[in-house]
Structure 1
Amino acid sequence: MHYLITGGTGLIGRSLCQTLLTAGHDITVLSRDKTKVYKQCGRNVKAIQSLDEISDDQKIDIVINLAGEPIADKKWSKQQKNILEQSRIGLTAALVNWIKMRQAKPHALISGSAVGWYGDQKQQPLTELSDYQHDYAHELCEKWEKAALEAADEVRVCIIRTGLVLSTEGGVLQRMLLPFKLGGGCTLGKGDQYMPWIHISDIVNLIIYLSQTPSAKGVFNGTAPHPVTNATFTTTLAKHLHRPAIFKAPEWLLKCVLGEMSQLLLGGQRAYPEKATAIGYQFQYTDLDDAFNNLLNKS
């Protein structure tokens, strides 16, 4: 099959490209930087800078939309919020318009979102049918999802609300490794907020599974079956690194340093992948210990 991917140079996108190439699929990556695409994804992909570079008679089977400015890299100023929204909502809207204009339409659009859609839900178990608590993360994800669902009259659409992707190649785990190895690992706030994690291999394989399962449509939680609290995540990572994690970062300090963005660290979602399990996806990593064993031993 021929996959068109946005966000191909991101953490998930890089691994997705490698997995699809190994399986013998054709890949086109939409990016502003062709050099970066070839460096991150390899020379066997086709890099384009505009959707206009795809002719209408060129077959595209699946569109996977993962593009988006990293949400936790900078404080949420008004300018940064605009960048976050344009990189997600604006690009998704352009992609949907492109799909609508094509005569030869793809079979499906698999579009990214995040568990932040649910807002801070404390200890409440969450499935794809759960309601939300309003905050900026929900507002951003809601607009992003609505933009993708505009294509639902034209093609099959799946939305993936991704949790914290665990990989030593980037993302939250990579950022935590150095301070934890130096003995500076700490619990965030009270530590009772849930962290809905997922192994990089599982989020990649789930995306591919949804792309190749004609009955799959609507919202899916891209999270492992067993979310854990921040306190449990902290002690488990410290155990695997053979280091102590005795410190606590107080809420007031995180709010002072990060402002509104502290919601990402102090809030949580106890999310479960009910729909993914129901349609037959089998997670390779369901337990946090197993995920860390794989990632940290491999690294």
Structure 2
Amino acid sequence: MKILVTGGTGFIGRELLKHLTTHDVVLLSRSPEKAKQRLNYADLGNVTYIPNLDDLHDLNDFDAVINLAGEPIADKRWSKIQKNLICQSRWGLTEHLVSLIHASTTPPAVLISGSAVGYYGDQQQHPFDESLHVHSKGFPHYVCAKWEDIANRARSEETRVCLLRTGVVLGCEGGALQKMLLPYKLGVGGPIGRGKQYLPWIHMLDMVRGIVYLLNTEHAHGAFNLCAPHPVSNRHFSKTLARALKRPHIFFTPKWAMKLMMGESAVLLFDSIRAKPKKLTELGFHFSYSRIEPALKNLLQHHD
């Protein structure tokens, strides 16, 4: 299969490429030479690097597109400039891909495009799946809803569209878990606020296995919650992480402190999202890590 991948040097993309070694991958990167160096462990001679899409007039030669590119949403405070960067890095590229799909006489069979569980906004303690209809004024919903709408324009009888409503991806090489480790190792980790908000987590292995599963399942289409079947409260997660690291669990971070530090983006920590991966499990996908305890144990086994 010939696959066009965007966001291949990102947190998820780097791991995904390890699972695409039997395919012919064309990777979009603004810095192909840097990408080659960064991905040398995953590139078995099956990856071609391109700096932009300008030389492509259509996607007739591609069997699939996996679109994971986008400015990280949680790395910086949401200034007006940063919000615009978060939006345009997702929307603009996806619009370009959709236009290339429309220009194709034999378009790719599937577009797998990123999104996030932030689409749902704060749902408090209520469990839900992909059938939930959402009306939210929050920025994460605004970003994801338009991103999904743009990607869905590629849908046709020839091209199916799968949307990845991704939870908090837990991996060793970056992401949320890496940011959490230091305070916990220092013995000052703990829940954020009251800790009752639900965390829709997923182990990195299941994240990339889920993408590959959707790639290979020809009748899969629509939005999918890429998160484990058993979301946990922030307090439960925090306690489990502290136990896995053999550290105390006596401190907590007050909500006002996080709001002071993060501004509006603190909603990423306090929105309660008890999302269930109903559509993915109904397709027959089996999670390697459906519970948080073995997931963290696996990820932390090589950490000091």
TM-score by length of 1: 0.96
Alpha carbons of structure 1 residues 210 and 123: separation in structure 2 relative to 1, 3 Å = same
- Cα 1:127–1:264 change in 2 (3 A) is same
Alpha-carbon deviations, 1:221-248, whole Å to 9, x = none? Answer: 0000000000000000000000012111
| Residue identity in the other structure for 1:39 | Q
User: What is the CA distance between 1:55 and its match in structure 2?
Assistant: 6.8
Q: Secondary structure at the match of 2:78?
A: coil
Structure 1 CA distance, aligned partners of 2:59 and 2:209?
A: 29
Percent identical pairs in the alignment equals 50
Which residue of the partner structure matches residue 87 of structure 1?
89
Which residue number in structure 2 is paired with residue 39 of structure 1?
37
Runs of 4+ in structure 1 deviating by more than 3 angstroms, as ranges, are: 52-58
Maintained 8 Å contact 1:9/1:36: no
- Give the Cα–Cα distance (whole angstroms) in 1 for the partners of residues 55 and 181 of structure 2: 41
What letter corresponds to residue 248 of structure 1 in structure 2?
F
Which AA in structure 1 matches 2:238? Answer: T
Amino acid at match of 1:83: L
Deviation at 1:40?
Answer: 2.4
The residue number in structure 2 matching 1:25 is 23
1:11 counterpart residue number: 11
- 1:92-136 Cα distance to aligned partner (Å, 9 max, x none): 111111111122311100001000000011101110001224311
Matches of 1:3 and 1:41 in 2, distance apart? 16
Q: Which residue of 2 aligns with 1:139?
A: 142
In terms of fraction of residues, the more helix-rich structure is 1
CA distance in 2: counterparts of 1:57 and 1:173, whole angstroms: 36
SS at match of 2:252: strand
Aligned 8 A contact 1:92 1:144 in 2: yes
Alignment partner of 1:233 is 2:237: yes
254-263 or 163-172, which moves further after superposition? Answer: 254-263
Distance of 1:122 and 1:53 partners within structure 2:
47
SS in 2 for 1:105: coil
DSSP 3-state at the match of 2:211: helix
CA contact (8 A) 2:101 2:154 kept: yes
Matched letter for residue 139 of structure 1: Y
> 2:123 corresponds to which residue?
121
Gaps of at least 5 residues in structure 2 are none
Alpha-carbon separation, structure 2, partners of 1:139 and 1:50: 26
Q: How far apart are the structure 1 equivalents of 2:58 and 2:232?
A: 46
C-alpha separation in 2, matches of 1:52 and 1:252:
46
Of 172, 180, 184, 1:180 maps to 184
- Would you say how many aligned residue pairs link Structure 1 and Structure 2? 297
Deviates more, 1:153-162 or 1:61-70: 153-162
Aligned to 2:98: 96
